Amino acid sequence: MKIAIMGGDGFVGWPTSLHLSNAGHEVHIIDNLSRRWIDTELGVQSLTPMDSIQERTRIWHAETGRKIRFHLIDLAKDYELLKNWLAEHRPDAIVHFAEQRAAPYSMKTDRHKNYTVNNNVNATHNLLNAMVELDLDAHLVHLGTMGVYGYSTVGAAIPEGYLPVGIKTMDGETASQEILYPSNPGSIYHMTKCLDQLLFQFYAKNDALRITDLHQGIVWGTHTDQTRRHPQLVNRFDYDGDYGTVLNRFLIQAAIGYPLTVHGSGGQTRAFIHIQDSVRCIEIALNNPPARGDRVEIFNQMTETHRVRDLAKLISSMTGAEIAWLPNPRKEAAENDLVVRNEKFLGLGLEPTTLKEGLLEEVVDVAKKFAYRVDRSRVPAVSAWTKDIAGKINRDPEGKSLKSVS
């Protein structure tokens, strides 16, 4: 297939681009490189040294003989440029990663909230709008989030996108219907993914676009089979309080002798997936498109769930790192259970990569190798969900004054 990967320079986009190129597809990366500018804004850099996208694709071609083409387009702002590109290339499939992906970043200030909404919602709508205008029957695969469901405890497994309900009719009977699982976003970022869902539902119903929405868990790990092929193909590794994902952050904190920062009780249960499984799931979704006129296909893209404090204890026992119990910058329940159904990917052949000590140690090794690139002052999570919470955040960069809140 000819595949356009929107946001292909990012944390999941880059290894996905390599994986699909390696499988023989013609891959085009569409990106505005905003994630690199955000690094500059935050005064932080990827733990792993990242070359320019041009150099990355050059190395891939030198190593494999396969070309990945890069096109600088801002999906949220350059509608005509995007439409013209799609008209010229008419890809068979589009993978949409082109959204600001960090919940803490989306909650930093009013400016960051506006940016996240404008970028994410406009990017999604511009893409859908252009596809309709061009009569482009490409399969759109979107990377969403488990966070659209929220993290409340309901005492039942979260289904894959749709919830069967009974509605009492005027004559007292019960009518059966399937609805989108009720959205319960926990941040501005998660809210934009909920808005994406509604856009997808409309365009699938109104214009018969073929859309797959992947509700992904928290990604951990850094390497895939393809990124291991050359040092300059390495994936980005975020460790800071805004973009670092919780398990990767624990692993680098352990590697540099920084306390493992558990916020609140650590009783938050989250869904997880390894980066290698993430790219495999995207390939599986691409190979199993819905038919034209079908409703949006929804997969829960995760392989396991864990409580944050249990992960901290696992990493602590493995590495000897101390655990610091800190005030929670997020507005969320102190404890929650999370049971998620993911039969669709398992039924299509996914063999999950679960938390194995060897893979965890691999991440620690990467962290130790590049520890000299760490700015310890960027490790704490300091973006607060509300002004009241902001006054309670612990901002000590070295952990010398970390105090327990339990």
Q: What is the pLDDT of residues 172-189, one digit of tens each?
A: 999 999 999 999 999 999
Average pLDDT, integer, range 222-247: 96
Whichever domain contains 163, its CATH number is 3.40.50.720
**Over the stretch 29-85, which tens digit does the pLDDT of each residue have?**
999 999 999 999 999 999 999 999 999 999 999 999 999 999 999 999 999 999 999
**Is residue 378 one of the residues assigned to a domain?**
no
Q: How far apart are CA 218 and CA 275, in angstroms?
A: 9
Q: Which two tokens stand for residue 116?
A: 């996240």
Residue 139 lies in a domain: yes
pLDDT confidence of 398, banded at 50, 70, 90? low
The average confidence (pLDDT) of the chain is 94
| Domain around 231 | 2-237+272-304+339-354
Asked whether residue 371 is domain-assigned, the answer is no
pLDDT in tens, 103-138: 999 999 999 999 999 999 999 999 999 999 999 999
Q: Would 316 be classed as within a structural domain? A: no
Single out the residue of 216, 338, 221, 340 nearest to residue 276, CA to CA: 221
Residue 213 carries which side chain, given as an amino acid letter?
D
Q: What is the DSSP letter of 380?
A: S
Burial class (CB in 10 A: 0-12, 13-18, 19+), 168: exposed
Structure-block tokens of residue 9: 């320079």
Choose among 10, 339, 304: nearest CA to 143. Answer: 10
Q: Identify whether 12 is part of a domain.
A: yes
Length of the chain: 406
The residue among 195 and 334 whose pLDDT is bigger is 195
Sign, Cα dihedral of 295, 291, 134, 71:
positive
Give 397's pLDDT tier (boundaries 50, 70, 90): very low
Compute φ and ψ for 204, nearest 5 degrees: -70, -40
> Residue 155: pLDDT band by 50, 70, 90 thresholds?
confident
C-alpha to C-alpha distance for 142 and 282, rounded to whole angstroms: 9
Are the C-beta atoms of 16 and 282 separated by less than 8 Å?
Answer: yes
Q: Which residues are catalytic?
A: 145, 189, 193
Tell whether 327 is covered by a domain.
no
Contact 353, 276 (CB under 8 A): yes
* Residue 211 CB-half CA count within 13 A: 28
CA distance 57 to 13: 13
Count structural domains, the chain. 1
> What is the per-residue pLDDT across 341-383, written as a single tens digit (0 to 9) for each?
999 999 999 999 988 877 899 899 999 999 999 999 999 999 9
Tell me if residue 326 falls in helix, strand or coil: strand
Confidence of residue 275 (pLDDT cuts 50, 70, 90): very high
Evaluate if residue 406 carries a pLDDT over 60: no
Q: Where are the beta strands (DSSP E) in 181-334?
A: 210-216, 218-220, 260-263, 269-274, 297-301, 304-307, 323-326
CA 249 – CA 134 distance, rounded (Å): 43
CB of 383 within 8 A of CB of 242? yes
Q: Does residue 365 fall inside a structural domain?
A: no
Which helix (H) or strand (E) segment is 10 a member of? none
Is residue 262 a part of any domain in this protein?
no
> CA angle at residue 83 from 236 to 37, to 5 degrees?
30
Q: How many helices (H) and strands (E) does the chain have?
A: 13, 14
Q: How confident is the model at residue 277 (pLDDT cuts 50, 70, 90)?
A: very high
- Give the other-Cβ count within 10 Å of 216's Cβ: 24
- 153 pLDDT above the threshold of 80: no
Contact 265, 334 (CB under 8 A): yes
